[in-house]
Structures are given as structure tokens and as C-alpha cells.
Structure 1
């Protein structure tokens, strides 16, 4: 939230401070845009935000169980069930092997959202640290990160486990992104360990919205899919990367 005291000095309050200050007034779009322009770190969701697809849905299609998994994904993104439950159930149905994951990346590489590379470039030119925080899989997300020049130590995602023969063996349940609230925990860790003062979260789903706080602002993204819950609750909701890029030039 931004306030303008009598002396005209503009002051910024984080989402958590704002919640203590008032339980009724939420940050406006104007305030979020102002925070975006002074942010020292911006965190992006990946599926349906940085890329056009939902990575787990594409993997499910590749493994022949696309329809069933897509319905589970919709429920998870809408916040209808816990993320960890949805992830466990979807992976149990897909049972992806190491070979299938690798072939998916080669045969059907993720498609970047229009304008995303330019947005990331603009942020980095402003010395803003860019992070990918995803409930998807590290092996896929790191491929996306390489394409948009984000270092691997700025990637937080779930990790699949495989048996020695390459068969699916589960996922690393200790990763913060494996659970609801995990993206917020990553942002809290980034603030603590890297000293960021203003962090913005951008994404299309419930797990992104709930990351504010500790993120100082949330931007709802509807450039690939519009989730009604996010459109209604996000104080700044955009349908293209260009809308965010334009604000950086103000």
C-alpha cells in the first residue's frame, strides 16, 4: 500500500504490513504498478504464465492420460483442492518415466508467452532479479529458464524421482513448491537470504495469489488462460506481457 503523509513523502508498505494496518483496504492497481517500478525482484509462475502450456498437462498428453489430468489441473489452479494432493494424484496417474520427460522437452518444447522474453530483458536491464517459482517440474522449468537467460539458481520447482531403470519413483516432497503456500515460503526465503525489499509475484493461479504476502504485490496474469477467481481477486490483472512492460517505462 502507498500513503501520502502531509509532507508529501510517499511511503510503501508491504502486503503483510498492509494487512496489519487495515483488514478492509487492499492495494489498488495504481499502488501495485508503483511497487512494480521499484521492485528489486520479480517472481514468475511458469505454466500458463511464462509459457503458454500447463507443463503437467502436456506431459500427461504425451503419456496418454491427458483428459483426466487436465481436469485435476483445473481444480488445483482454482484452489479447490490442496496443491500437494492434486500433484500426487496427477503424477500417480501419469507415471512418467525419465525417458518420457526428456523426449517431451525435445519433441514438444514449451512455447514462450508472447512478449515474455522482452519483459524479462527489460527487468534485467533495470538490475531486477528475476525468478521462476513453479509447481511444475525442474527438468522442464530449467529448459525454459535457459531460453530467457535466467540462472538456474533462480529456479524453484518440483523434482521428479526415478528408479535406476528410469521408471517413475515419485517426487521430492521436501520442495516448498510441492505444497500450497510453497511459493510464499520461497519468497520469504529470498527476502531473508538475499535481502530483497520489494518483491512482486506474477501468475495465473491460486498458488500465485496466495504468495502475497510475503510478496509485496501480486499481478494476475490472464494472457494464456483467464481464471475467474484470479481476475476477481487480483487488483491488477493483465492479459499481456506488454501491459507490464509499458508500466516499467512510466
Structure 2
């Protein structure tokens, strides 16, 4: 599955005009210079996963696999656009699909996720500069761990939601104690990272309104629009990008 994660390809409409958009939006944001400066000196970068590190929303893929795609996608759009509290959307979506552990694992085997273009190279560059990399996601740990393994990110550097199952693998709920299970969970998650690791200069990168909430404690929020181009995120981002290449170039010059 890990090999397929790296090699699987599919057409992405948002990427068709990337070069044009890069030319017109490379300086879009509330504080582009500040974000670039912070990226050049950061000691930690936190990534959202769905529609940022990968080209899909994991819960939507799972819902489609279980025959509940349309209903769940509508809730995902509300959550990512900031139109409903995240915990309400999470509970509603999981209640619709009630994913058992065997079905989740079957979904991962049959529908491995595709990495966003350039993200693996960017993370490799961060690692080469001794920058601590975390995956901070409202998605599910069981679906994120294979992605982390491909990217050489330790599983302990994942802050995400836990789906709960009984001894038979049947769905019983989710862990509400995880900070990423509720609204304003990402700033809480980054605060935990900061206090435990002592980082002073954390960057948050993501495509959703919940990612924008992570500043502070993040010193900069970089919005990513290479998969989902959200107006609400672009308006809140210190720097809004459609590609990881320029970010990689900045880190490489450290």
C-alpha cells in the first residue's frame, strides 16, 4: 500500500492551471514577507493532512467507499469552510458512516491516498534542515499513520482523532478528549507541541478554516490551495500558495 501511495496518480482539476496561478498569487496573503521570513527560521512545521499533504479528504473517501459519499461531503464542506463547528460536523459524519475497523483497513488497501505534488520533497528538505515536522489533523490516526510512514514522520508526531471500536472491530464512537476533535482544536494541539518540545517558531500549513485558527501559537499560517481553493482560507492566510516548490526553495536556502 505504501508503494501505491507514492505512485498512484489521478487528474486534479485544481492543478491544471497551477503555473498561471503561481504567477498571479505568489505574493497573496496578509503578511507574505513575514511568512517567508518565519519559514526560513522556523524550528517546527505542522501540516494539515486532508487536501494538503494528500489530494483527498480521508473521511470523504471512506464515506464514498461505504456508500455515504454525498451526505458526508456536504458536512465536510461546511466544516472546512468554517460554517459549522468542527465537532458537530465530525459527530454527524461518523454517525452517518459508522466505520468498522475492518472496513477502514479495506478502504485504505483499495483506495490508497495520493500525496500532493511536491509535498514529499518539501518535507524531506525540512528534515534535512532539522526542522521538526508534525501532522495535525481533524482526520483519523488509523488513516494517517501509513502516510506518516511514507514521509518518514514518526507516528508520535501525529495529533489526530481516534475512532473507537469494540473487540469485534465495530464502530463505537470517537475520542472527544483529542484536541483535534473540536473547534479551536488545532491551536490547542500546537500549544501542546510547543510546551512539550520547546519550539519558538511554529508554522501551520493547511487548506481549511480550522488551520487558520492555529495562529497563534503558530507565528505564521500558510494557506494551501493546490487541492481546495477556499476564499475563507485565502483571506486569513499570511501567505497563500498553490504549490510547495517555493516553500522548498526557501527552506533549502537556510
Please give the TM-score of this superposition, normalised by the length of structure 1: 0.88
Alignment: residue pair count: 225
Separation (CA, whole Å) in 1 of partners of 2:134 and 2:168:
33
Per-residue deviation, 1:228: 1.0
The answer to whether structure 1 residue 242 and structure 2 residue 245 are counterparts is: yes
The answer to whether structure 1 residue 97 and structure 2 residue 100 are counterparts is: yes
1:146-166 per-position Cα deviation (integer Å, ceiling 9, x unaligned): 010000110111000112222
Does the residue aligned with 2:50 lie in a helix, a strand or coil? helix
Match of 1:85 in 2: 88
Unaligned runs of 5+ in 2: 1-28
Match of 1:212 in 2: 215
Separation (CA, whole Å) in 2 of partners of 1:137 and 1:233:
25
Question: Relative contact order (alpha carbons < 8 A, sep ≥ 6): 1 or 2 greater?
Answer: 2
Per-residue deviation, 1:27: 5.8
Does the residue aligned with 1:59 lie in a helix, a strand or coil? helix
Separation (CA, whole Å) in 1 of partners of 2:167 and 2:148:
27
Separation (CA, whole Å) in 1 of partners of 2:63 and 2:174:
16
The structure 2 residue matched to 1:71, chosen from 74, 81, 84, is: 74
The structure 2 residue matched to 1:28, chosen from 31, 44, 47, is: 31
Separation (CA, whole Å) in 2 of partners of 1:223 and 1:27:
19
Separation (CA, whole Å) in 2 of partners of 1:235 and 1:193:
26
Separation (CA, whole Å) in 1 of partners of 2:100 and 2:37:
45
Please give the TM-score of this superposition, normalised by the length of structure 2: 0.87
Separation (CA, whole Å) in 2 of partners of 1:235 and 1:183:
17
| Structure index of larger Rg | 1
Give 1:41-60 correspondences, 5 Å limit.
41-60=44-63
Unaligned runs of 5+ in 1: 1-25
The answer to whether structure 1 residue 188 and structure 2 residue 191 are counterparts is: yes
The list of structure 1 runs, each at least 4 consecutive aligned residues, that deviate by more than 4 angstroms after superposition, is none
Per-residue deviation, 1:234: 1.1
Give 1:43-192 correspondences, 5 Å limit.
43-192=46-195
The worse-fitting range, judged by mean Cα deviation, of 240-249 and 163-172 is 240-249
Separation (CA, whole Å) in 2 of partners of 1:213 and 1:121:
26
Separation (CA, whole Å) in 1 of partners of 2:110 and 2:245:
29
Per-residue deviation, 1:183: 1.0
Does the residue aligned with 1:124 lie in a helix, a strand or coil? helix
